Amino acid sequence: MSTTTDALQAQLLSWRQSFDQSFTEPREKADWGDTWDVLGIRIANEPFALHLDDLAGLLPAMTPAPYPADAAALLGLIGYRGQVLPLYDLRALLGRGASTTPRWWAIVRATPLALAFEGFDGQWRLPPQDRLQQDNAASDSGSDWTVRAGGELRPLIPLAPLVERLTATLAGGRDAASAHPKA
């Protein structure tokens, strides 16, 4: 019991020192340099990563408001900071089937929409040696990069092409609806 207590005391001390250290470091160190902030997520029990620059927010999943539409990946509508955003299933968008229980929502910065996914592993700031560029054709998620974070290799999901594809699909559907209005 005392051994466990000693270990906890030591851990507490190390945390205290780390916390204090963050205040003693010089300002120049605050320059992040060439680092990427990534978010580790889990889709169909497989590790993936999202670039933090592509996102405007992260929040735990709640019950979305259902919205009748033809889009297969659309889960409903959500409210975020006074905005109504469509919620899409990221797994369905990646072509891996529908999510069973999406527990997290990520708000996309470039376009007003939200993506639901199943698991959230953490957030990391990655140096260049943890970023691997790969052949685009080799990835089923259309990713150019793979990152090493949390002890695993994670394909970095590029949200911009995904959003473009979705937008194009929605635009095509809207054009078709306007060309053939229902009676």
Partner 1 sequence: MWTFGRKLTVGFALSFALLLLIGLLSYRGVEVLTNTSYQVTRTHQVLSDIASLMSAMKDAETGQRGFMLTGDETYLDPYRAASTEIPRLLAELRSLIRDNPSQQTRLNQAAVMIDSLMALHKERIEMRRTGSEEATLRQIKTGDGKRRMDELRAIIDQMEQEETDLLRERAREVEATASGVRSAIGWGTAAGLILVLVAALVLNRALSGQVGAAVLHVQRSAAELQAAANQQAAGARETATSMTEISTTISELLATSRQIADSAQRVVQIAEQTASSARGGEGTLQGARDTIAAMRRQIDQVVGHMLDLGQKSQRIGVVLDLVGELAEQTNILAINATIEATVAGDAGRRFGVVADEIRKLADRMTASTKEIRLQIDDVRGAVNTTVMATEAGSKAVDAGARQFDDVAATFARIAGLVVTTTDAAREIELSTKQQATAVEQLNIALSNTAQASRETETSSGQTSQTATELAQTSRQLLSLVQAQSA
Q: What is the dihedral of CA 87, 93, 96, 100, to 10 degrees?
A: 0
What are the structure tokens assigned to 100, written together?
């069973």
Shortest reach from residue 15's CB to partner 1, in Å: 6
Question: By C-alpha distance, which of 26, 15, 45 is closest to 117?
Answer: 45
Q: Which range in 119-127, 144-152, 163-171, 175-183 contacts partner 1 by CB under 8 A?
A: 119-127
Spatial separation of the C-alpha atoms in residues 112 and 33, rounded to whole Å: 29
Contact status: 19 vs partner 1 (CB under 8 A): yes
Task: Return the residues of window 145-174 that contact partner 1 according to CB under 8 A.
Answer: none
* Residue 88, amino acid: Y
Task: Return the residues of window 56-115 that contact partner 1 according to CB under 8 A.
Answer: 56-60, 109
Task: Return the residues of window 30-59 that contact partner 1 according to CB under 8 A.
Answer: 30-32, 37, 39, 52-53, 55-59
Sequence-distant (6+) residues with CB within 8 A of 145 are: 131, 132, 133, 134, 155, 156
Contact status: 22 vs partner 1 (CB under 8 A): yes
**Which residues contact partner 1 (rule: CB under 8 A)?**
4, 8, 15, 18-19, 22, 30-32, 37, 39, 52-53, 55-60, 109, 122-123, 125
